Amino acid sequence: MLKDNIKYIAVEGPIGVGKSSLVKMMADDFKAKSVFENPDENPFITNFYQDPLRYAFQTQLFFLLSRYRQQTELKQQDLFDQRIICDYLFAKDMIFANINLTDDEFALYSQVYKLLDQRLPKPDVIIFMQASPEVLMKRIRMRKKEYEHNIDPSYVFRLSQAYSQYFFQYKEAPVLVVNTSGLDFVKHVKDYEMLKKELFYLLKSGLEKHYVTIDPR
């Protein structure tokens, strides 16, 4: 059982790692409200994958404001009434911005981000899901989202590296780091139960980070 003071859980990881599937399972298990971002609503996303240099700033700014609006609604309405499990961390915007924007764009973007970030609640714990770039690409292809057809494998590799570096340094909440390359929470109940066990251990131990790696089947 999760303690009552664990009200806000964020599940994070690069594109295709399986965040949404895990959030759905956890929300049902813990009687929590699930919150999902919807990248399909970003009108610039298709153009971004076709021409990243031209459309990166518009794409990133739309995501930033969209996530801020959603997080503000959580803060005002739900966060103290019931447990929330969200399939993103607001700070993820900085991960993407850092690898996609030019220096001048990033400087401007950072000013806006810092103003918004200080107004938002922080998660009580984060589950950071990792997978090899090869596994991520395979899962992305399986999703069959049209705008993702043009994703460059090198971009997925850089994104995966940026995520790992960011959460290695993250100190604002406990982080459970799970290598999911050999896991399937939907098909294998044991995988999900293992993750829950490790999450409870992290929260009980008082550690800043706990790393879980399972050998691929």
Annotated catalytic residues are 87
Find the helix or strand (DSSP H, E) in which 125 lies: strand 125-130
- Residue 84: Cβ-neighbour burial (10 angstroms; 0-12, 13-18, 19+): buried
Please say whether the beta carbons of 133 and 157 come within 8 A.
yes
For the chain, state the CA radius of gyration: 17
Please say whether the beta carbons of 77 and 33 come within 8 A.
no
Residue 62 phi/psi, 5-degree rounding, is -60, -45
Find the helix or strand (DSSP H, E) in which 86 lies: strand 84-86
Amino acid at 182: G
- Residue 160: Cβ-neighbour burial (10 angstroms; 0-12, 13-18, 19+): buried
Please say whether the beta carbons of 117 and 90 come within 8 A.
yes
Question: Tokens 């399909």 correspond to what residue?
Answer: 40
